[in-house]
A and B are shown apart, each in its own frame.
Chain A
Amino acid sequence: MSATPLRKPSADTAFDVERIRADFPILHNVRPHGKPLSFLDNAASSQMPQQVIDRIVRYETHEHANIHRGVHLLSTLATEAYEGARRSVQRFLNAKEDREIIFTTGCTEGVNLVMHGYGRKFIGAGDEIIVTHLEHHSNIVPWQMLCEEKGAKLRVAPIDDRGEVIQEAYDALFNERTKFVAISHVSNALGTINPVRRMIDVAHARGIPVLVDGAQAAPHIAVDVQALDCDFYAFSGHKVCGPTGSGALYGKAALLEKMQPFKGGGDMILSVTFEKTTFNTIPHKFEAGTPPIMPMIGLGAALDYLSAIGMDRIAAHEHALLEYATEQVSALDGVRIIGTAREKAAVLSFYVGEVHPHDVGTLLDEEGVAVRTGHHCAQPVMQRFGVPATVRASFAFYNTFAEVDALVEAIRKVQKLFG
């Protein structure tokens, strides 16, 4: 047993993590089993700062009404707040226009929207769709459903032992039948950051559109959809300190305009007769029915909150946490880290000796350390590494080096119990 590890200061000395933590009531309100909470399950869902909670309360207490309809004051306020949130997303992703931002209930709905709106219209029998072996089920299953329906084929870019997509193999998948590419920006199970700019360029050289699943990237790294030149970018609100039920899809205006609607109903139409319906313009064409207004306003507030801290500073702090955690956890006897890509976001997946991840998770919880255990909705990744599941610690900008120490100490206790 080694001595208590020294806590490394963050590279950014001005990054005041304690001041940031003061914004998150849940980090102080909850003491699991009487222990301080170390919330290291941020890749599943992040916590919400008081600023976002306050914004939601303000909407519900001073602005609530349906949007895009009423002529009364509250409807105007609600519409302004909702459309304001759309501009927050636009700024966060550096999209050219706010009409390129479609509100969704989360990343999964964003992928499904593109599958239905673009895929079902433009992909047919014999066509091929490329994904990677790293994908979350939400960026596999919709494409499999489309392939099943249309007689198209799913092609999978393999990964190496580090958990990196083998770029030559990815390039070699392209042929004259390739019609679409769907890739994750950051792997949820392993933390690998894919070289998406390069992968997009390869697809664009053949005129093939690319969807990027940004669920795990948006919370951790500055995303610039114009610099990436991606055609679609989807992410979830509840992983960027916003509410569940919120999310957004970016799509290039020219593509969104030629796509078919995903859902039919109110707000997505310009005129309806029983003979013919004229669809609304983008983004409204894709937002049928009354949307989750409050969650989207919360999402806007969350993105403004993150932007005020600065995504580059967030990334730097998390990188320092990941480096420290990797060093400390890999120093433990018998702990195997799964996913050692050269470019990684703040995810540490591992296996403790022969102990099943679910036992590790239960015992870590006993020490106040919240982690995810399981296949992380990425069963193909688990199969690739020959494990049924992993323990996954995933960090956010409000995590501390002391919480990494708590994780390491808790793993030691598990090893002792099972030793």
Chain B
Amino acid sequence: MDSKQLYQEVILDHNRKPRNYGPLEGATHVSEGLNPLCGDHIWLRLRVADDRIDAVAFEGQSCAICKASASMMTASIKGRSVGEAETLVTAFRGMVTGEVDPSTPGNPIGRLAVFSGVKDLPSRVKCAILPWHTLHAALGSQTVATTEGAQDPMGGAPS
């Protein structure tokens, strides 16, 4: 595919002005996401009360794809229940690994579909998926997430 299709204005905009970027006071869930191959490195903090994500923030060093993915993820999950966030994790993962067609009726992916082109750039799938792995880890009270080993979206079994 044309990678410029991936670098759409919405992704470039979230890269330039990431939403929910920075520290978070009173976080109940924290996880660190690492992609050792390309050096993407983010911290994700959540404040969860009564099964609801009241606040979320991320910060770190990463490429545009990872940063925009993290930014749009935080915007998508804020105010949602933990179960809804996990459903989005599964849907996002299915989309960028090409296992699920996001246009299937009932798919919750919504405007996150701008990342669907990543599935044609195998070397960049991990960049897009890292924030979502980190979210999954944080909600499961794991302190570190990576894109390698069993969590490798390109080879390992779903975590």
For chain A, residues 398 to 419, give those with C-beta under 8 angstroms from any C-beta of chain B.
Answer: 417-418
B104: interface (CB < 8 Å): no
Q: A355-B64, A359-B63, A362-B124 are in contact. Are A388 and B39 (CB under 8 A)?
A: yes
Task: Chain B residues near A363: list those with CB within 8 A.
Answer: 3-4, 7
Task: Chain B residues near A365: list those with CB within 8 A.
Answer: 3
Q: A362-B3, A373-B38 are in contact. Are A418 and B12 (CB under 8 A)?
A: yes
Task: Chain A residues near B65: list those with CB within 8 A.
Answer: 358-359
Cβ-defined contact, A389 with B38, below 8 A: yes
State in angstroms the CA–CA spacing of A373 and B63 once bound together: 11
Task: Chain A residues near B127: list those with CB within 8 A.
Answer: 358
**A388 contact from B6, B41, B121, Cβ within 8 A:** B41
Number of A-B contacts (CB under 8 A): 45
B157: interface (CB < 8 Å): no
Cβ-defined contact, A359 with B64, below 8 A: yes
State in angstroms the CA–CA spacing of A356 and B66 once bound together: 10
State in angstroms the CA–CA spacing of A34 and B61 once bound together: 33
Q: What mask results when residues 357 to 389 of chain A are scored 1 for a CB within 8 Å of chain B, else 0?
A: 111001101100000011100000010000011
A69: interface (CB < 8 Å): no
Task: Chain B residues near A375: list those with CB within 8 A.
Answer: 39
Cβ-defined contact, A358 with B63, below 8 A: yes
A33: interface (CB < 8 Å): yes
Cβ-defined contact, B61 with A366, below 8 A: no
For chain B, residues 95 to 123, give those with C-beta under 8 angstroms from any C-beta of chain A.
Answer: 121, 123
Q: A355-B64, A362-B121, A417-B12 are in contact. Are A33 and B2 (CB under 8 A)?
A: yes
29 contacts between A and B (CB under 8 A): A33-B2, A356-B63, A357-B63, A358-B40, A358-B65, A358-B124, A359-B64, A362-B3, A362-B6, A362-B123, A363-B3, A363-B7, A365-B3, A366-B2, A366-B3, A373-B38, A374-B37, A374-B38, A374-B39, A375-B39, A382-B39, A388-B39, A388-B41, A389-B38, A389-B39, A417-B4, A417-B7, A417-B12, A418-B15
Instruction: Give me 19 other A-B pairs in contact (C-beta within 8 A), A355-B64, A356-B64, A389-B38 excluded.
Output: A356-B62, A357-B63, A358-B38, A358-B40, A359-B7, A359-B63, A359-B64, A362-B3, A363-B3, A363-B4, A363-B7, A366-B2, A366-B4, A373-B38, A374-B37, A374-B39, A375-B39, A418-B12, A418-B64
Interface residues of A (CB under 8 A from B): 33, 355-359, 362-363, 365-366, 373-375, 382, 388-389, 417-418
